[in-house]
Amino acid sequence: MDETSLRRLLDRALDHEPPMGPVAHQSLQAGLRLRRRRRAGNATAGIAAVAVIAAAIPAVIGGLGHNPAGLRTGPRKVVVYIGSDHRDTVTPISAATNIAGRPIKAGLGPRRLAITPDGKTVYAADVDWHTVTPISTATNRAGKPITVGKGPCAIAITPDGRTVYVANVISNTVTPISAATNTPGQAIKTGHRPLAIDITPDGKTAYVLDQSYGMWGSVLPITTATNTRGKPIRVGNGPSAMAMTPDGRTLYVANGSADTVTPVSTATNTAEKPVKVGPGPSAIAITPNGKTAYVVIQGPGRRSSVVPITTATNTAGKPISVGAVAEAIAIAPDGTTAYVPNSQSSTVTPISTMTNTAGAPIKVGTGPVAVAFTPDGTTAYVVSLGADTVTPISTATNTPGKPIRAGIRPYAIVVAYR
């Protein structure tokens, strides 16, 4: 297959794809320059995928915000890393000064980012070049690109930081990478269109969201000790995103074409009764206490809502109306607020998780696609694809700060805390 045909295949495969887990929620939505040109004027392109990444970040940095025995104490440095949808760079932003640093060259379009639990390395996936580039957060220098399968579109890292798993949507594989040596292992064959990865808190199992052709999708469990795949777990039609409870007991899968969310028991690897949520669920995030899963759905007139699911009973609550075209959600580390970027209205809607009510929309740059929080939760950073900016928001007052220029078409975001 030549490069042109390969790119067209990827473009078709990702037209409806979604986003990594309680240490990496989900990730997804890759598209190539052909797709970028076709959607150049549409700031909402690929938001569902970013949703997955942004929703994972609070869990990641929340875990890094602790000082367990063995880790150094004292001043810690917080840096926000932004991957580009259009350029070959990752841009670091100091959270202390909100000033962007020198862009780091990393492939052709680094639109999937993941960070090791110790905050020392950012991994940037480049769908165009079929590589993953490690970036040292101590020096902000990129290492040698690691060749993986075709169309890397999601990354997840085990809680011990030893293995990086990359889902490759074109080659239908998952590539394990040794973080110690940055060498890829033998590819693990999946079904069709592996779009996202989530890993249990104990690191024993990686779950791969597989948007198989036909009426049903599935979740494929992989035993990380041996990198062997288990029996696929069938979920609903058109799975687009997933999130795991902090205790690792339940994986929630949003089925975009079935208007449902399927809970999966990780103890038995069996799907439970689907929860009806409404049209086109596209993103999902779970509170740090694990009590509520929030699901973004698409309503009439491109108006979106967020549906809370009580995880103890798997019952859906009353939809919470948010802005136009919302396909991402992130929850603050303390669990009190969910932020929903509204790409069409260029706002972020805060939701109080105590009352399940939406607050006044916060104005940000054109086409917001992703949100991430600092470990202490005092600041949320919003990536605006159409404005080429990242906007810091004070979570205490929900007021935006001065937008930060972050390259051309910023797309993905992770927060390093060292």
Give yes or no for residue 60 having a pLDDT over 60.
no
Whether the pLDDT of residue 203 is over 60: the answer is yes
pLDDT in tens, 284-326: 999 999 999 999 999 877 789 999 999 999 999 999 999 888 9
Residue written as tokens 């165009």? 128
Structure tokens at 351: 């939701």
- Tell whether the torsion through CA atoms of 237, 255, 341 and 377 is positive or negative: negative
Q: How many helices (H) and strands (E) does the chain have?
A: 3, 40
CA dihedral for 137, 141, 142, 144, sign (positive or negative):
negative
Residue 17 to residue 150: CA distance in whole angstroms: 16
Predicted pLDDT at 149: 94
Tokens encoding 12: 């078709």
Least confident of 50-59, 204-213, 226-235: 50-59
Question: Residues 365-380: what's their mean pLDDT?
Answer: 96
Contact by Cβ (8 Å): 226, 220: no
What total of structural domains would you count in the chain?
Answer: 1
pLDDT exceeds cutoff 60 at 155 = yes
Distance in angstroms (rounded) separating the CA atoms of residues 49 and 193: 14
Residue 143 CA to residue 106 CA, distance in Å, equals: 9
Res. 55: pLDDT tops 90: no
Bridge partner list, 38: none
Eight-state DSSP code of residue 213:
S
Task: Tell me what percent of the residues of the chain surpass a pLDDT of 70.
Answer: 81
One DSSP character per residue, 134-173 reads EEETTTTEE---EE-SSSEEEEEE-TTS-EEEEEETTTTE
Query: Is a pLDDT exceeding 60 seen at residue 74?
Result: no
- Indicate whether 10 pLDDT > 90: no
Question: Which has the closest alpha carbon to 355: 308, 403, 290?
Answer: 308
For the cut 50, the answer to whether the pLDDT of residue 362 exceeds it is yes
pTM of the predicted protein model? 0.84
The pLDDT value recorded for residue 361 is: 97
> Residue 381 pLDDT > 50, yes or no?
yes
**Which sign does the torsion angle of CA 166, 92, 241, 150 carry?**
negative
CATH number of the domain within which 57 lies: 2.130.10.10
Both tokens assigned to 358? 């939406």
Q: What percent of the chain clears pLDDT 90, i.e. is strictly above it?
A: 72
Residue type at position 261: V
Task: State the average pLDDT for the chain.
Answer: 84
Instruction: Pick the range with the lowest mean pLDDT from 191-195, 335-339, 385-389.
Output: 191-195
The one-letter amino acid at 389 = T
Specify the pLDDT at position 92: 97
Collapse the DSSP code of 62 into the 3-class scheme (helix H, G, I; strand E, B; otherwise coil) and give the result: helix
Tokens 């037209």 — which residue? 15
Q: Model confidence at 182, in pLDDT bands (50, 70, 90)? A: very high
Q: 2 is written with which tokens?
A: 């030549």
> How many whole angstroms separate alpha carbon 350 and alpha carbon 2?
46
CA–CA gap between residue 415 and residue 418 (Å, rounded): 10
Domain that holds residue 251: 3-417
**128: closest CA among 17, 12, 30?**
30
SS3 265: strand
Which of the four pLDDT bands, split at 50, 70 and 90, describes residue 72? very low
**401 DSSP assignment:** -
